[in-house]
C-alpha cells in the first residue's frame, strides 16, 4: 500500500511533465494542424543551453530562465524560417520536415556537446517527504506541480481573457476571415509556435534531471509518452492533454514500479495502439479532428 501511494504521487509528478509537453503539441496542432515531431529535440537543445548557462554562472535559476527564453526564440525561429514554407497540401510534408529538424538538432548537439550522457542536477531535493512513514512527494515534485500548474493557468488566461488570445484562436480557426478583419495571422502563428516551444522547454528542463541526464536523444521516449497523452486527450483539447498526461504518467509509474523500468516504453506503445484503435477521436475531442 505504501508503495502504491508513493507510485501514485510519483506518477502524478511525471504526468505533470507529460501534460506540459502534450500541451505544447496541442498548441501547435490547434494553431497550424501540424504535429511537431521535432518538439523533443527542440526541448533538449534548449535544455543544453540552459545547463550551459547554469554551469557558467553557477545559478540554476538563471539557466532555467535562459532555457525557456531560448525555447520561445527557437519556436518562433523554426516557424519563421522553416515551417512557414512547408507545402501543407499533405499533412505528411510537415511531419517529414519536422523529422529533418530532429536530425539537424541532434547532429548539431552531438557536435557541440558530444554524444555521451551529461549529468543534469535538479535544483531541489528529490528525497520525498514522509508523512506517517509513507514517502509522498519531494520538494522537486512540488516544484514540478507548481511550474506546470502555473503554465496551464497562464495559458488559459491568455487564450480566454486577453485580446491576443482571441486573435490567436481566430487566426487558427478561420485564417481568411481573421485576415480580413485585420488580424496578423502569420504573426499569431509565430506566437503560437513560440509559446508551444517555450512550454516544451519548460517540460524538458523539468524532466531531464529525473531521467538519465542530458543527451541529444534524451527526449525520444518522453516525446512518445507526451504524444500518447495528447492523442489520449484528442490532440485538439488542452484539458484533454493535461488529463491525458496525468493518466499516462500514472500508468507508467505503476508499470515501472511493479514490472520494471524497461517495460515502460513497451507499455506506452501498447497504450498508443489501444487508444488509436479503440477511441480514435480521443477521450475529450468533440468533432472529427482525426480525419487529417
127: which DSSP letter?
S
Q: Return the number of the residue (149 or 280) whose C-beta is nearest another protein.
A: 280
Residue number, 66 or 101, with CB nearest to another protein: 101
Spatial contact of 68 and 205, defined as CB atoms under 8 Å apart? yes
Residue 109's CB: how many other CB atoms inside 10 A? 21
Supply the minimum distance, in Å, between the C-beta of residue 261 and another protein. Answer: 9
* Residue 58: other Cβ atoms inside 10 A: 9
- Using the minimum distance from each CB to another protein, give the nearer residue, 37 or 284: 37
Closer by beta carbon to another protein, 33 or else 139: 33
In degrees, rounded to 5, the angle at the alpha carbon of residue 44 between the alpha carbons of residues 270 and 168 is: 85
- Please say whether the beta carbons of 194 and 75 come within 8 A: yes
Which residues form the interface with another protein (CB under 8 A)?
34-35, 37, 82, 85-97, 99-111, 114-115, 217, 220-221, 224, 227-228, 231, 260, 262-266, 268-269, 272-273, 276-277, 280, 287-292
Burial of residue 159 (number of CB atoms within 10 Å: 0-12, 13-18, 19+): middle
CB of 144 to another protein, least distance (A): 23
Minimum CB separation of residue 178 from another protein in Å reads: 16
Nearest-approach distance from CB 8 to another protein, in angstroms: 23
Task: CB nearer to another protein: give 107 or 146.
Answer: 107
Closest distance of CB 287 from another protein, Å = 6
Would you give the distance in Å from CA 180 to the centre of its chain?
A: 33
Q: Which of 242, 248, 226, 225 minimizes the C-alpha distance to 284?
A: 242
* CB contact at 8 A, 283 and 231: no
Give the three-state DSSP class for 282: coil
Smallest distance from the beta carbon of 15 to another protein, in angstroms? Answer: 18
147 vs 226, which CB is nearer to another protein?
A: 226
Amino acid at each position: 500500500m505504501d508503495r502504491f501511494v508513493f507510485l501514485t504521487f510519483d506518477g502524478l509528478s511525471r504526468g505533470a511533465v507529460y501534460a506540459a509537453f502534450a500541451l505544447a503539441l496541442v498548441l501547435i496542432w490547434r494553431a497550424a494542424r501540424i504535429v511537431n515531431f521535432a518538439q523533443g529535440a527542440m526541448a533538449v537543445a534548449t535544455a543544453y543551453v540552459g545547463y550551459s548557462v547554469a554551469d557558467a554562472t553557477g545559478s540554476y535559476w538563471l539557466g532555467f530562465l535562459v532555457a525557456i527564453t531560448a525555447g520561445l526564440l527557437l519556436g518562433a525561429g523554426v516557424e519563421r524560417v522553416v515551417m512557414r514554407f512547408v507545402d501543407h497540401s499533405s499533412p505528411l510534408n510537415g511531419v517529414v520536415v519536422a523529422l529533418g529538424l530532429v536530425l539537424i538538432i541532434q547532429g548539431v548537439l552531438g557536435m557541440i556537446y558530444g554524444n555521451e550522457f551529461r549529468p543534469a542536477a535538479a535544483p531541489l531535493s528529490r528525497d520525498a517527504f514522509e508523512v506517517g512513514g509513507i514517502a509522498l512527494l519531494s520538494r522537486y515534485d512540488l516544484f514540478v506541480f507548481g511550474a506546470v500548474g502555473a503554465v496551464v493557468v497562464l495559458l488559459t488566461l491568455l487564450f480566454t481573457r486577453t485580446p491576443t488570445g482571441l486573435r490567436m484562436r481566430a487566426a487558427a480557426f478561420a485564417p481568411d476571415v481573421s485576415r480580413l478583419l485585420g488580424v496578423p495571422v502569420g504573426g499569431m502563428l509565430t506566437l503560437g509556435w513560440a509559446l508551444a516551444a517555450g512550454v516544451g522547454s519548460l517540460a524538458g528542463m523539468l524532466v531531464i534531471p529525473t531521467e538519465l541526464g542530458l543527451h541529444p536523444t534524451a527526449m525520444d521516449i518522453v516525446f512518445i509518452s507526451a504524444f500518447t497523452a495528447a492523442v489520449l486527450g484528442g490532440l485538439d483539447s488542452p484539458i484533454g492533454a493535461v488529463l491525458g498526461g496525468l493518466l499516462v504518467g500514472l500508468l507508467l509509474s505503476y508499470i515501472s514500479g511493479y514490472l520494471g523500468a524497461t517495460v515502460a516504453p513497451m507499455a506506452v506503445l501498447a497504450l498508443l495502439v489501444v487508444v488509436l484503435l479503440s477511441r480514435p477521436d480521443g477521450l475529450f475531442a468533440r468533432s472529427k479532428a482525426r480525419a487529417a
